[in-house]
């Protein structure tokens, strides 16, 4: 079965495909289909709303069942920021490094025990017949004082989960504990009800 994955983030696509493949789902992209998905304005107040906006847009253009993820980092000491603005935290199109610099700057006076945070991933799946479902996965951790590791993307180098940052973990280690891994496990449980 073909599902279009509504993302332009190649690293996110690889992560989603790696976990969807065992479900018998062929994850295709706009490039595979020779179409162009528009940039979707993420106007939702929640990860769930933004995931739906992206999935619905991809469905409307491709006609295929569509899967979209909206995810981000929520830091308790920053009242949940950057949250749904994680990708735009340091401005539109700012690279990961600039977002990390801003995050660490905003946490510079926050002691270790108050640097708690979680990654959140909401995955929305929409079908041509109007059915849809959304799942949410989280991963608890803390924000380290400096980036470590070179795997992953986004805030992975400063998100400590246990003794390692996400960027220090292998793909398999990260998939086993990550917010996206957790939401995809829930997705895998929910999807058969719709097939």
The dihedral through the CA atoms of 56, 29, 63, 66 has a sign that is negative
Phi and psi angles of residue 136, each rounded to the nearest 5 degrees, phi first: -130, 130
Tell how far CA 126 is from the center of its chain: 17
Name every residue whose Cβ is closer than 8 Å to that of residue 51 and which is 6 or more positions away in sequence: 68, 69, 70, 122, 123, 124, 134
Identify the CA nearest to 66 among candidates 43, 41, 88, 33. Answer: 33
CB 82 within 8 A of CB 73: yes
Name every residue whose Cβ is closer than 8 Å to that of residue 73 and which is 6 or more positions away in sequence: 82, 83, 86, 103, 117, 118, 119, 120, 154, 155, 159
At 133, is the secondary structure helix, strand, or coil? Answer: strand
For the annotated catalytic residues, the residue numbers are 70
Name every residue whose Cβ is closer than 8 Å to that of residue 85 and which is 6 or more positions away in sequence: 72
């Amino acid at each position: 079965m073909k599902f279009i994955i509504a993302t332009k983030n190649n690293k996110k696509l690889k992560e989603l495909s790696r976990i969807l493949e065992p479900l018998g789902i062929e994850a295709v992209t706009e490039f595979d289909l020779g179409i162009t998905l528009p940039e979707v304005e993420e106007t939702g107040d929640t990860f769930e709303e933004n995931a739906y906006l992206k999935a619905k847009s991809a469905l409307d253009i491709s006609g295929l069942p569509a899967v979209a993820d909206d995810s981000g980092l929520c830091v308790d000491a920053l009242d949940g920021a950057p949250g749904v603005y994680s990708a735009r935290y340091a401005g539109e199109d700012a690279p990961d490094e600039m977002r990390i610099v801003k995050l660490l700057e905003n946490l510079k006076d926050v002691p270790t025990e108050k640097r708690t945070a979680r990654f959140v991933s909401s995955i929305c799946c929409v079908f041509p017949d109007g059915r849809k479902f959304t799942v949410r996965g989280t991963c608890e951790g803390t924000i380290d004082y400096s980036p470590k590791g070179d795997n992953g993307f986004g805030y992975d180098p400063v998100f400590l989960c246990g003794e390692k940052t996400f960027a220090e973990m292998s793909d398999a280690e990260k998939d086993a504990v990550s917010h996206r891994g957790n939401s995809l496990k829930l997705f895998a449980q929910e999807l058969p009800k719709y097939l």
